[in-house]
């Protein structure tokens, strides 16, 4: 091993020890369920993927547990979850989950190192680049923009993984286009980026445009990019085509982020590296790689400015600037490398200076890491949480609704009860993937009626004030059997209603039973509005849901037996030909036997007219799933074939 | 397309946390009769965040009594508790009374706050002849409380020192007895360990000095403040060592640059 490589290894060792001094292995390797922010609600998704979907040979499917059911992974990025679920076949699920959530963070220095190597920068710039990921990772200025550790801990770990892969792709694409090689590896990388986040996927495309600014190589570069991105498109087809086809059945969430000061974008911890990057820019002005970095940074700025006009969240582009600028600052040394005689000590000096700069700027990351990774089971209030879940576990199949309260955070996250399907084996209304379901606006309307404090995340859908009596018909429509209350005001309203019976007091929580609901998902109705014109049905359904007095008119004398499975609904009825409302979210992938078709009924449910006593609905595959899978198989064939060809060539040579 | 993009890429937002605090303004009044000590505790939450699981615990005469636990104390909410403790002290005089307010924040993270007062049992003695001063300063894992105790009387005194700390800090020795010559002073240090104190927090603690003189029991309460600041370490090394290493590396590089041909 050459001396620079030994130095690289030593400094890498320091970088990882530095990271591990925050991400303590005793937490990461403990058999507890990680929590905190959105993270806690991702865990049941992995569990569902591993135990239900993967054994059926699926990644995309249907999840009954939240939002009256929603298509899972049709509107969220599956790569992290697949890695996690596969790891969980080998090591305990809890540990696999924790390790997957930090994967992007730990990969970033490695990917930055490889990026500089692929860009052809000499020692010690690659290892310095790896070190300079630390100020970005430990930046505490925001916990929602993505890529830094606070964002990862808030649950955006999929973005973190994608960002690391994007950094690697930045170097790999440059080398690939320059030398006209690595179409397949680069296509694979883009596919992985696309399967782990959308913003990074777009940015991966932006990199490619840089190579079209060449008169001499325009056509060869263009063809290279077509092959690379084309292969990526084929590979992700199984996910991307259903994702596009699914967009009419999601709830849009559009908001604009307010940035109060430039310090939010360039916080103190990053500021010196911005100055250094400026110096690097002038020192290496005529280096093509400088233009390549500059292209990425300028494009991130342009996309940031354009985002509100194209319906995208602007702040998601800021991490690209916050990461690429400090990375580029590593090149400030480039001109001096040949003249420094003891160049081997430079990375060590840079590591020490960077570490000594980063540590005093870190205030809460360590306590957040402890909070997340010590797990739900070690929270002081876990006995209360466990008792609630144990109690609900014995209930009927109807859904459980809960008052929204910041005080649930004592269980690890405010979103703790979103995991009722995992901890209590009971379906609930709210969930993490609120955009993935057409039922989410109605769920949040109910939340606003039954909570002292509501979250009202969709500005386009107006919510209510606290009004438990007014919520009762809506709770019945959503097949809610039990209601968890927390605040004194809500408890008081609940206790005063004859339709609600107090079943259990656990700690500061009270659980009520809704006596007017019998817990059935399939209900024969006299009549019920269905959607005929889909142009503005969501708005109309929402108005109906908010204002209608009679939400449900059951038929007397109905006898229905039902069985609800993960992706199946079966029922037997005595009312053939009568409309049957199925209180589960509509999706075009639901296929029915025993009825002519599935109707989209208000507010967001399914309705069938049985043509026989037994009716079966199955969440199947659409034409888009099929075409997408063919694309992916084609892409995989290309990858395998190129691998075999490369192997044969390698042996011959 | 615009709509589609909006839907696609705006996933997984969480609410940002804003810093808030709990501040319990606590008063303690106590009165002792021949057989009983009555203590009244009033505490008002003057912070901007509700406190949870609020409970007062009083210690006096070797007994500990807990008040009722209040599940939630909202902003400006009031906690009240009254305690009746039987007292059977050997000597008349002044004795210590320790109140610990236990509470938790919304995440059920536990905190405690101390108040130490004295009460008079039977006869009121003359002012204490023992004076004390403390300094704790700033520490992270392990600290020390430095005590300066002065005997201003003409007698040699045997003084029992009791360290009262919030539960976040653990004293290495809870009690120690010392002898101090007449008109003399003594300095001593007692160890403290940070058990669960948070960086950036300041904790009040007390050294209670008790002695007997002329058939009377005397108590002097010495307050102290411990400021907890996390020390900066990189790979287990303090900044002092890091600076030394850094300077060493820079000097080596410079010398090499100048002298290596």
Nearest in space to A526 (alpha carbons), one of A559, A552, A557, A547: A552
What is the pairing mode between strands A480-485 and A399-402? Answer: parallel
**Which 3 state secondary structure label does DSSP give B189?**
strand
Nearest in space to A202 (alpha carbons), one of B9, B4, B2, B7: B9
Chain A, nearest residue to B254 by Cα? A342
Q: Which two structure tokens, joined as six digits, stand for A384?
A: 């209360």
Q: How far is B221 from chain A (nearest CA, A)?
A: 34
Torsion of CA A336, A337, A340, A343, to 10 degrees: 140
Give the one of B6, B14, B72 whose C-beta lies nearest to A155's C-beta.
Answer: B14
Chain A residues touching residue B245 (CB < 8 angstroms):
352
Residues 6+ apart with CB under 8 A from A115: A126, A129, A167, A168, A170, A171, A172, A327
Tell me the C-alpha to C-alpha distance, in Å, between residue A187 and each of A191, A226, A636, B121: 6, 10, 11, 85
- Per-residue DSSP letters for A619-649? E---HHHHHHHHHHHHHHHHHHHHHHHHHHH
Q: Would you say A272 and A361 are in contact if contact means Cβ atoms under 8 Å apart?
A: no
Mean pLDDT of A229-240: 98
Long-range Cβ pairs for the range A500-508 (8 Å, 24+): A500/A468, A500/A472, A503/A391, A504/A391, A506/A384, A506/A387, A506/A388, A506/A391, A507/A381, A507/A384, A507/A387, A508/A384, A508/A407, A508/B71, A508/B72
CA-to-CA distance for A342 and A651, rounded, in angstroms?
Answer: 41
Supply angle C-alpha A641, A645, A646, rounded to 5. 115
Residues from B in contact with A at Cβ < 8 Å: 2-17, 52, 71-72, 104, 106-110, 198, 232-236, 239, 242-243, 245-246, 249-250, 252-253, 256-257, 260
User: What is the ipTM score, two decimals?
Assistant: 0.78
CA-to-CA distance for B204 and B224, rounded, in angstroms?
Answer: 6
Give me the half-sphere count of Cα atoms (radius 13 Å) on the Cβ side of residue A53: 24
What would the pLDDT profile of A349-367 be if each residue is shown by its tens digit? 999 999 999 999 998 999 9
Supply angle C-alpha A485, A489, A493, rounded to 5. 75
**Which 3 state secondary structure label does DSSP give A515?**
coil
CA-to-CA distance for A332 and A339, rounded, in angstroms?
Answer: 14
Q: What is the pLDDT of residue B77?
A: 92
Q: Which residues pair with B112 in a beta bridge?
A: B102
Chain B residues touching residue A198 (CB < 8 angstroms):
8-9, 11
Chain A interface mutation, best of B13, B73, B251, highest count of A Cβ atoms under 10 Å: B13
Alpha helix (H) residue ranges in B1-147: 2-8
Please say if the pLDDT value at position B2 is more than 60.
no
In terms of Cβ atoms closer than 10 Å to its own Cβ (0-12, 13-18, 19+), residue A250 is buried
Q: Would you say A81 and A73 are in contact if contact means Cβ atoms under 8 Å apart?
A: yes
**Which 3 state secondary structure label does DSSP give A432?**
coil
pLDDT band of A160, cuts 50, 70, 90? very high
Instruction: Give the residue carrying structure tokens 């445009």.
Output: A209
What would the pLDDT profile of A434-449 be if each residue is shown by its tens digit? 999 999 999 999 999 9
CA-to-CA distance for B248 and B250, rounded, in angstroms?
Answer: 6
Chain A residues touching residue B253 (CB < 8 angstroms):
340, 342, 345-346, 349
What would the pLDDT profile of A235-249 be if each residue is shown by its tens digit? 999 999 999 999 999
Please say if the pLDDT value at position A215 is more than 90.
no
Question: Cβ separation of B249 and A21 shorter than 8 Å?
Answer: no
Chain A interface mutation, best of B14, B201, B235, B260, highest count of A Cβ atoms under 10 Å: B14
Q: What is the pLDDT of residue B18?
A: 41
CB-CB neighbours of A59 under 10 Å: 18
Question: Cβ separation of A352 and B252 shorter than 8 Å?
Answer: no
Q: How far is B260 from chain A (nearest CA, A)?
A: 8
Residues 6+ apart with CB under 8 A from A23: A102, A105, A369, A373
Q: What is the pLDDT of residue A248?
A: 93
**Which 3 state secondary structure label does DSSP give B150?**
strand
Question: Cβ separation of A406 and B250 shorter than 8 Å?
Answer: no
Please say if the pLDDT value at position B5 is more than 60.
no
Mean pLDDT of A566-594: 97
Cβ pairs A/B, distance under 8 A: 131
Q: Would you say A33 and A40 are in contact if contact means Cβ atoms under 8 Å apart?
A: yes
Q: Which two structure tokens, joined as six digits, stand for A451?
A: 């909570």
Q: What is the pLDDT of residue B13?
A: 33
Question: Cβ separation of B249 and A247 shorter than 8 Å?
Answer: no
Q: Would you say A76 and A436 are in contact if contact means Cβ atoms under 8 Å apart?
A: yes
What would the pLDDT profile of A505-514 be if each residue is shown by its tens digit? 999 999 999 9
Share of chain A above pLDDT 70, in %: 99
What would the pLDDT profile of A515-526 be if each residue is shown by its tens digit? 999 999 999 999
Chain A residues touching residue B242 (CB < 8 angstroms):
352, 355-356
Q: What is the pLDDT of residue A649?
A: 85
Number of H helices, E strands in chain A: 26, 14
Q: What is the pLDDT of residue A650?
A: 81
CA-to-CA distance for B254 and B248, rounded, in angstroms?
Answer: 10
pLDDT band of A653, cuts 50, 70, 90? low
First to last CA, chain B: 64
- Return the DSSP state at A498: T
Q: What is the pLDDT of residue A166?
A: 98
Give the one of A243, A252, A410 whose C-beta lies nearest to B108's C-beta.
Answer: A410
Please say if the pLDDT value at position A33 is more than 80.
yes
Q: What is the pLDDT of residue B16?
A: 34
β-sheet with A480-485: strand ranges across: A399-402, A480-485, A509-514, A500-506
Give the one of B13, B234, B257 whose C-beta lies nearest to A18's C-beta.
Answer: B234
Chain B, nearest residue to A412 by Cα? B107
- Which helix (H) or strand (E) is A191 found in, with range? helix A183-194
Please say if the pLDDT value at position B237 is more than 90.
no
pLDDT, chain A, mean:
95
Q: What is the pLDDT of residue B231?
A: 78
Mean pLDDT of A452-480: 93
CB-CB neighbours of A77 under 10 Å: 24
Q: Would you say A149 and A105 are in contact if contact means Cβ atoms under 8 Å apart?
A: yes
Q: Would you say A566 and A52 are in contact if contact means Cβ atoms under 8 Å apart?
A: yes
Chain B residues touching residue A457 (CB < 8 angstroms):
13
Question: Cβ separation of A340 and B5 shorter than 8 Å?
Answer: no
Question: Cβ separation of A410 and B106 shorter than 8 Å?
Answer: yes
Give me the half-sphere count of Cα atoms (radius 13 Å) on the Cβ side of residue B173: 13
CA-to-CA distance for A478 and A466, rounded, in angstroms?
Answer: 18
Question: Cβ separation of A21 and B253 shorter than 8 Å?
Answer: no
Question: Cβ separation of A254 and B260 shorter than 8 Å?
Answer: no
Question: Cβ separation of B16 and A143 shorter than 8 Å?
Answer: yes
Question: Cβ separation of A435 and B11 shorter than 8 Å?
Answer: yes
CB-CB neighbours of B144 under 10 Å: 16
pLDDT band of A1, cuts 50, 70, 90? low
Please say if the pLDDT value at position A29 is more than 60.
yes
Question: Cβ separation of B106 and A17 shorter than 8 Å?
Answer: no
Chain A, nearest residue to B107 by Cα? A410
Q: Would you say A450 and A490 are in contact if contact means Cβ atoms under 8 Å apart?
A: yes
Q: How far is B78 from chain A (nearest CA, A)?
A: 17
Question: Cβ separation of B233 and A359 shorter than 8 Å?
Answer: yes
Q: Would you say A118 and A127 are in contact if contact means Cβ atoms under 8 Å apart?
A: no
Query: Is omega for the bond preceding A637 within 30 degrees of 0, making it cis?
Result: no
CA Rg value for chain A: 27
Q: Would you say B147 and B132 are in contact if contact means Cβ atoms under 8 Å apart?
A: yes
What would the pLDDT profile of A273-298 be if each residue is shown by its tens digit? 999 999 999 999 999 999 999 999 99
Q: Residue A22, by phi and psi: left (phi above 0), alpha (psi -120 to 50) or beta?
A: alpha
Chain B residues touching residue A345 (CB < 8 angstroms):
249, 252-253
Ranges assigned E (strand) in A399-508: 399-402, 480-485, 500-506
What would the pLDDT profile of B44-88 be if each residue is shown by its tens digit? 999 888 898 899 999 998 888 999 988 889 899 999 999 988 887
- Return the DSSP state at B155: S
Tell me the C-alpha to C-alpha distance, in Å, between residue A145 and each of A156, A301, A320, A543, A609: 9, 15, 10, 33, 47
Question: Sign of the CA dihedral A34, A35, A37, A40?
Answer: positive
Chain B, nearest residue to A200 by Cα? B9
pLDDT band of B233, cuts 50, 70, 90? confident
Q: Would you say B194 and B141 are in contact if contact means Cβ atoms under 8 Å apart?
A: yes
Query: Is omega for the bond preceding A534 within 30 degrees of 0, making it cis?
Result: no
Tell me the C-alpha to C-alpha distance, in Å, between residue A639 and each of A79, A162, A173, A186, A636: 18, 21, 17, 11, 5
Question: Cβ separation of B10 and A254 shorter than 8 Å?
Answer: yes
Nearest in space to B25 (alpha carbons), one of B76, B98, B81, B97: B76
Q: What is the pLDDT of residue B105?
A: 86
Chain A, nearest residue to B233 by Cα? A359
Question: Sign of the CA dihedral A636, A638, A641, A645?
Answer: negative
Question: Cβ separation of B9 and A18 shorter than 8 Å?
Answer: no
Chain B residues touching residue A414 (CB < 8 angstroms):
15
Mean pLDDT of B26-49: 89
What would the pLDDT profile of A45-74 be if each residue is shown by its tens digit? 999 999 999 999 999 999 999 999 999 999
Residues 6+ apart with CB under 8 A from A45: A63, A72, A81, A432
Share of chain B above pLDDT 90, in %: 58
Question: Cβ separation of B108 and A21 shorter than 8 Å?
Answer: no
Give me the half-sphere count of Cα atoms (radius 13 Å) on the Cβ side of residue A42: 32
Supply angle C-alpha A513, A516, A436, rounded to 5. 75
Chain A, nearest residue to B244 by Cα? A352
Mean pLDDT of B126-150: 92
Mean pLDDT of A420-425: 96
């Amino acid at each position: 091993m050459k001396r620079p490589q030994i130095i690289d290894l030593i400094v890498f060792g320091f970088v990882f020890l530095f990271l591990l001094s925050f991400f303590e292995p005793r937490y990461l390797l403990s058999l507890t369920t990680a929590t905190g922010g959105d993270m806690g609600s991702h865990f049941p998704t992995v569990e569902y993927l591993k135990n239900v979907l993967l054994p059926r040979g699926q990644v995309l499917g249907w999840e009954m547990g939240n939002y009256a059911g929603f298509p899972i992974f049709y509107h969220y990025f599956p790569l992290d979850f697949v890695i996690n679920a596969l790891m969980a076949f080998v090591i305990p699920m809890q540990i696999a989950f924790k390790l997957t959530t930090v994967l992007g963070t730990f990969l970033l220095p490695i990917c930055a190192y490889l990026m500089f190597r692929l860009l052809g920068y000499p020692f010690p710039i690659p290892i310095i680049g790896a070190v300079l990921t630390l100020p970005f990772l430990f930046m505490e200025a925001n916990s929602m923009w993505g890529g830094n550790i606070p964002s990862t801990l808030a649950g955006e770990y999929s973005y973190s993984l994608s960002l690391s892969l994007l950094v690697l792709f930045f170097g790999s694409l440059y080398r690939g286009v320059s030398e006209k090689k690595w179409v397949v590896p680069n296509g694979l990388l883009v596919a992985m980026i696309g399967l782990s986040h959308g913003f990074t996927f777009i940015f991966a495309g932006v990199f490619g445009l840089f190579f079209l600014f060449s008169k001499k190589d325009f056509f060869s570069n263009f063809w290279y990019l077509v092959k690379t991105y084309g292969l990526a498109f084929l590979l992700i087809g199984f996910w991307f085509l259903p994702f596009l086809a699914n967009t009419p059945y999601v709830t849009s969430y559009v908001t604009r982020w307010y940035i109060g000061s430039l310090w939010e974008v360039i916080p103190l911890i990053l500021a010196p590296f911005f100055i250094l990057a400026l110096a690097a820019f002038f020192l290496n002005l005529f280096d093509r790689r400088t233009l390549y970095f500059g292209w990425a940074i300028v494009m991130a700025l342009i996309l940031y400015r354009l985002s509100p006009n194209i319906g995208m969240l602007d702040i998601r582009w800021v991490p690209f600037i916050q990461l690429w600028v400090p990375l580029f600052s590593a090149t400030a040394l480039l001109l001096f490398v040949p003249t420094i005689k003891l160049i081997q000590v430079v990375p060590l000096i840079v590591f020490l200076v960077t570490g000594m700069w980063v540590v005093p700027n870190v205030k809460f990351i360590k306590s957040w890491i402890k909070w997340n990774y010590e797990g739900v089971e070690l929270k002081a209030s876990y006995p209360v949480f466990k008792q609630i879940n144990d109690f609900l576990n014995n209930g009927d199949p109807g859904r459980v609704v809960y008052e929204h309260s910041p005080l649930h955070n004592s269980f690890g996250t405010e979103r703790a009860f979103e995991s009722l399907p995992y901890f209590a084996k009971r379906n609930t209304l709210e969930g993490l993937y609120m955009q993935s379901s057409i039922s989410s606006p109605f769920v949040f309307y109910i939340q606003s009626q039954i909570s002292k404090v509501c979250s009202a995340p969709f500005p386009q859908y107006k919510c209510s004030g606290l009004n438990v009596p007014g919520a009762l018909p809506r709770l019945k429509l959503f097949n809610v059997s039990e209601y968890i209350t927390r605040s004194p005001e809500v408890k008081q309203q609940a206790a005063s209603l004859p339709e609600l019976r107090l079943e259990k007091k656990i700690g500061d929580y009270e659980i009520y039973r809704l006596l007017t609901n019998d817990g059935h998902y399939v209900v024969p109705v006299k009549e019920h509005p269905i959607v005929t014109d889909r142009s503005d049905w969501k708005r109309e359904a929402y108005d109906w849901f908010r204002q209608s007095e009679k939400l449900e008119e059951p038929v007397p004398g109905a006898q229905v037996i039902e069985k609800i499975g993960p992706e199946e609904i079966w029922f037997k009825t005595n009312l053939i030909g009568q409309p049957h409302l199925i209180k589960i979210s509509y999706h075009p992938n639901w296929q029915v036997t025993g009825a002519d078709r599935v109707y989209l009924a208000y507010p967001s449910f399914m309705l069938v007219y049985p043509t026989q006593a037994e009716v079966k609905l199955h969440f199947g595959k659409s034409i888009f799933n099929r075409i997408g899978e063919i694309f992916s198989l084609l892409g995989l064939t290309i990858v395998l074939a190129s691998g075999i060809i490369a192997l044969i060539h390698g042996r011959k040579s | 397309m615009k709509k589609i993009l909006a839907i696609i890429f705006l996933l997984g937002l969480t609410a940002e946390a804003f810093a808030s605090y709990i501040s319990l303004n606590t008063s303690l009044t106590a009165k002792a009769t021949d057989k009983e000590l009555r203590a009244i505790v009033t505490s008002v939450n003057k912070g901007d965040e509700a406190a949870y699981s609020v409970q007062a615990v009083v210690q006096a005469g070797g007994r500990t009594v807990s008040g009722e636990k209040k599940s939630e104390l909202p902003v400006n909410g009031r906690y009240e508790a009254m305690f009746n403790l039987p007292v059977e002290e050997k000597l008349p005089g002044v004795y210590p009374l320790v109140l610990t307010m236990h509470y938790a924040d919304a995440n059920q993270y536990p905190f405690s706050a101390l108040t130490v007062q004295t009460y008079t049992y039977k006869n009121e003695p003359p002012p204490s002849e023992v004076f004390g001063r403390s300094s704790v300063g700033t520490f992270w894992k392990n600290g020390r409380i430095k005590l300066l105790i002065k005997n201003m009387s003409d007698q040699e005194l045997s003084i029992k020192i009791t360290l009262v700390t919030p539960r976040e800090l653990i004293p290495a020795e809870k009690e120690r007895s010392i002898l101090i010559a007449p008109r003399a002073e003594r300095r001593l240090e007692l160890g403290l360990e940070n058990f669960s104190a948070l960086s950036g927090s300041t904790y009040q603690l007390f050294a209670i000095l008790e002695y007997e003189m002329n058939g009377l029991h005397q108590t002097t309460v010495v307050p102290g403040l411990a400021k907890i600041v996390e020390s900066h370490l990189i790979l287990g090394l303090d900044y002092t060592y890091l600076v030394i290493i850094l300077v060493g590396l820079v000097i080596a590089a410079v010398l090499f640059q100048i002298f290596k041909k």
